[in-house]
Structure 1
């Protein structure tokens, strides 16, 4: 079995696991710790060390991929929607490489999820344009054309009405914060997905994030021209995608 390690850093939790690269499945239990309050770089690094030690891979030579909720360009994090503003313009890949004492592959978290679903999940063998969104603390997005990733799309930061970012209006965190019913939340998602459907004319929508396990409660309420399906790997997609890219 060819294996790699994936770490998925989110706005509320940091998850990690060992991945079977041949099958694109978890080869270990998923471990999770809460994202430190404020999510400053030093605190996030410590939390990543904790999950790697819990997995007992902190001294492993397996390839390691780290997914992060920001625009990632040449190892630099250029945005910080749900983490400390210290990450903006920060040499994050070097920071993690030096702090962990090993080479890593560093990637946007939604892009990692998109790679997982394109190689091993709901978008596998799909021709044309797949648009994956992750619904969680924010809204992430990944563009894939014939399985090839176009990185660093940030559809969650589209403006909507009085909201500076549509994720403030339609992310899972908004549903939980405002105690919305599935039907009321689906009305918000309808506006989001109808808008990006008009802008980009995708061939397939894939919906990831932890809430994808409840896809039956809200996806059937959406009325779109484009097929929309839940991510097969659900909340593990970021781990699997980060590990897959590290394995490359």
Structure 2
């Protein structure tokens, strides 16, 4: 549908945000946000989204979810509660709740779709409640890897090592030292052509980045919800 209006939903550990976009990725209805419900189980989350978008007009839905998602089905949700979400077909649940065709992928995957150049092997990381990662080859999103849950230091995974709770605990200086180590690992392991860094904590980075590392804001990847339907 060439003239489709896309409802883009960003489900986060602390907030749920939504906007609508035209076929070119231009915002039609500005971002609106509400706190993520607690507990963030499917019933509560779907009710919150329904209330959030009740004034929106759209033809199809794209949603980014903070966990491992395959074919619209959630397998892990570390910051919302995997015990609530494992095996939930969120794409189908949203389609039933909102009445429109729906696609759901990992939130970092969707943000990156709107940011990448589409040339070569590119990587997206998000720094926020946890550590999000996504990979692309010539603009196509690749199978999702939960790098966040790979051990990096003793019994800590990336979420625990550099997530928001740790930033608040150890402070900006020590956190930036950890981030330098993390970026060194990403560069060595993945050999990306370009790395994009988003998420709220990306604004706390205070050291010189390589030329092929690009800081992005959510607005830079706003059309990821449209591009998801072109995959």
Same fold (TM > 0.5): yes
2:86 aligns with 88
| Deviation of 1:185 (Å) | 1.7
2:217 matched to 1:240?
A: no
Question: Which residue matches 1:189?
Answer: 179
Give 1:237 deviation, angstroms. Answer: 5.5
Superposition misfits of 4+ residues, deviation over 6 angstroms? none
Find the aligned partners of 1:105 and 1:99 in 2 and give their Cα distance: 13
CA–CA distance in structure 2, aligned partners of residues 102 and 113 of structure 1: 21
Change (3 A) 1:29 1:203: same
Unmatched runs of 5 consecutive residues or more in structure 2:
none
Note the C-alpha offset of 1:239.
5.1
Report how far residue 45 of structure 1 moved.
Answer: 0.3
**Whole-Å Cα distance in 1 between the matches of residues 17 and 220 of structure 2?**
11
| Alpha-carbon displacement from aligned partner over 1:25-69 (angstroms, at most 9, x marks no partner) | 43322100011112100000011112202xx12xx3422111111
Tell me the TM-score normalised to structure 1 length: 0.83
CA contact (8 A) 1:77 1:91 kept: yes
TM-score for the superposition, normalised by structure 2 = 0.89
Corresponding residue SS for 1:48: helix
Q: Using the alignment, how far apart are the partners of 1:222 and 1:156 within structure 2?
A: 23
Task: Summarize the Cα distance change of 1:195–1:247 in structure 2 as closer, same or farther, 3 Å threshold.
Answer: closer
Give the CA deviation at 1:238: 6.2
Answer yes or no: is the 8 Å Cα contact 1:114–1:237 preserved in 2: no
Instruction: Report deviation, 1:240.
Output: 3.0
Compute the displacement of 1:15 (Å).
0.3
The more displaced of 83-92 and 109-118 is 83-92
Secondary structure at 1:27's aligned position in 2? Answer: strand
- Cα–Cα, structure 1 residues 204 and 173, in superposed 2: closer, same or farther, change >3 Å? farther
CA RMSD of aligned residues (A): 2.2
Q: Tell me the residue number matched to 1:7.
A: 9
Aligned equivalents of 2:220 and 2:106: distance in 1?
A: 12
Counterpart position of 1:121: none
Task: Tell me how far 1:20 sits from its aligned partner.
Answer: 3.4
C-alpha spacing 1:138/1:51, structure 2 compared with 1 (3 Å) = same
**Conserved? CA contact 2:195–2:214, under 8 Å:** yes
Is there any run of 5+ residues in structure 1 with no aligned partner, and where? 119-123
- Higher RCO, 1 vs 2 (CA within 8 Å, ≥6 residues apart): 1
1:158 aligns with 2:150: yes
What's the offset of the Cα at 1:86?
1.4
